[in-house]
Structure 1
Amino acid sequence: MRYAAEKYGVNCVGVSVSKEQVKRGNETKGDLPIEFRLQDYRDIHEKFDHIVSIGMFEHVGYKNYRTYMKIVEKNLKDNGLFLLHTIGTNVSAKITDPWIHKYIFPNSVLPSAVQISKAVEKLFVIEDWHNFGIQYDRTLMTWYDNFKKAWPRLKDKYDERFYKMWEFYLLSSAATFRTRQSQVWQIVLSKHGKHNGYKRICQ
């Protein structure tokens, strides 16, 4: 949001159920036209020109996929665009890996293309669907390298078990992208279809 506000003069509203995220956002926004709210997405009742969802859809639960899309559709202006950024998987699932559930992302589940398509049916037109999955392998390996380099500064606060758990998480996650089991999707949706078509920014 900071980039959008600085570069394009956009007025932004950020919604999170994390007190830490909202606190950090308000501390760093400066004088930019950005508002951070401690709010559940289901409690939003106002119209926006555009809506962006980044790393959120993986956490709403498969039973709420359709509800999530209905709420976005309700809060998006008729000529607006909705960008859904989510990690996805090739196979529809209702539960996540037990280790991931216990230690990393409780109650998360990765959506499939089929589940997303069903959730947006009769609500949105899919204007663009881009897959950045292969690049995310490199992202995770960079995080792993940074984690190793920072460990001498962190090891007084965290034990060896913590190190091994994060090492396992980052490397195993990278493996799912390298083997193309997991994807990173950016999906652009409109309510009625862009009359002149949608031009992808990144070719």
Structure 2
Amino acid sequence: MRILDLMLRRFIDVGSLEVTYPDGLRKTYGSAGEGPHAAMTIHTSDAERRLVLNPGLAFGEAYMDGAISPDGCDIYALLHVLMENAMAPSSGGSLIGERVASSVRYLRRGWIQFNPEKRSRSNVAHHYDLDGRLYQLFLDRDRQYSCAYFQTGHETLDEAQETKKRHIAAKLKLDRPGLTVLDIGCGWGGMALTLARDYGANVVGITLSTEQLQTARARAAEAGLSDRVRFELLDYRLLRTRYDRIVSVGMFEHVGVGHYRTFFKKVRDSLKDDGVAVIHSIGRNDSPGTTNPWIDKYIFPGGYSPALSETLAAIETTGLWVTDCEILRLHYAKTIEIWRERFNARRVDAAALYDERFCRMFEFYLAGAELSFRVQGHMNFQLQLTRAIDATPLTRDYMFEAEKRSS
């Protein structure tokens, strides 16, 4: 009797999944009632075997290689069924291979997320030093590769990303021109350029991506802002200057749990006495966990979405004040949904840059990432941090007022 068949009988409890096995046998798991529905074909016996042993890694690899294909649906629908059931209490433990692999990953997560300077640069290059034309296929015009902010839910991607930058700027309390701002993990420079152009700040952006560095510098020159914005290839641990404000968007996920205290101590040391920092990161709404092995291998090596509990525990050791915390729940799901639609519309262009296997990898990544926010408890958090107890006003009204003025 097939081991995978026994596992899926116990695993699929929400919606239904139809599976065609390599020998042509077709089985349906779950029920045709409420819940998502999908079908797939497993084309090789090797793929079936690997799904039993380590489904968290094997499923994505088999899809990339064409050893698994959706039937009458797309990869998003197929992942929806699987990821929804992975969160169902009744299915816990039914995928024995994943349960064992997950336990081993948790024991090894200190090593998996051990990100010294050399390894951090290599990890960043793996994803962010891809051909810049790839990201132009699906990002907004400012190339914000992080969660947008939807005030109504009906904004375009460009509008929502502009709103995100205003939202963060309001939390930075940019109440006078000429403030010095450090942008840790500056990406292609959009946030830094916005803070300089629209708020009169003097900004230093640091990154470990050579591709992003070149683009950011070129954008600053093109915008005539090179005198107020400087971009450097620099690890945050090597910072030696103090700033009025610090912002970091979408970088903390790459720090690694063993380096959290080092990161927040560096934030503290890099802030002036009355300074304000805002850290924007993907997080999880449950207890500390691990990164999916496929994501770690193919997309974000060394990356991890932290729980607030482990993040705040690290901050508490530095003496920093957490002066504000906001949880963004479905904002990233909406952001990635738009990215996924845009990527699919330009898939031919992506294949011309790389190949079909790469396109399958990227499809799998975007679909899984969106669903992690819709059904698996991922969210974003924004933390405002200060050194001094009185660095910000008594109430949050100044944030709302600043955001309204800049809209």
TM over 0.5: yes
Look up the match of 1:129.
Answer: 325
State the match for 1:85 in structure 2.
280
In the comparison of the two structures, how many residue pairs are matched? 203
SS in 1 for 2:352: coil
Matches within 5 A, 1:1-203: 1-30=192-221, 31-32=224-225, 33-93=228-288, 95-121=290-316, 122-179=318-375, 181-194=377-390, 196-199=393-396, 200-201=399-400
**Percent identity among equivalent residues?**
35
1:2 and 1:70 mapped to 2: Cα distance? 26
Structure 1: unaligned runs, 5 residues or longer: none
Gap regions ≥5 residues in structure 2: 1-191
SS at match of 2:353: coil
Higher helix proportion (structure 1 or 2)? 2
Higher strand share: 1
Higher relative contact order (CA 8 A, sep 6+): 1
What TM-score, normalized to structure 2? 0.48
Which TM-score applies when normalising by structure 1? 0.93
Per-residue deviation, 1:56: 1.1
Residues 13-72 of structure 1: CA deviation (Å, up to 9, x unaligned): 001111111111111102211000111111101110000111111111100001100011
Report if aligned partners of 1:134, 1:180 keep a CA contact under 8 Å in 2.
Answer: no
Cα shift at 1:158: 2.7
Bigger Cα Rg: 2
User: Quick one: distance in 2 between partners of 1:167 and 1:177?
Assistant: 16
CA offset at residue 157 of structure 1?
2.9
RMSD: 1.7
TM-superposed deviation, 1:173:
1.0
**Partners of 2:292 and 2:268 in 1: CA distance:** 31
1: CA distance, partners of 2:287 / 2:258: 12
CA contact (8 A) 1:127 1:188 kept: yes
Moved segments of 4+, more than 4 Å: none
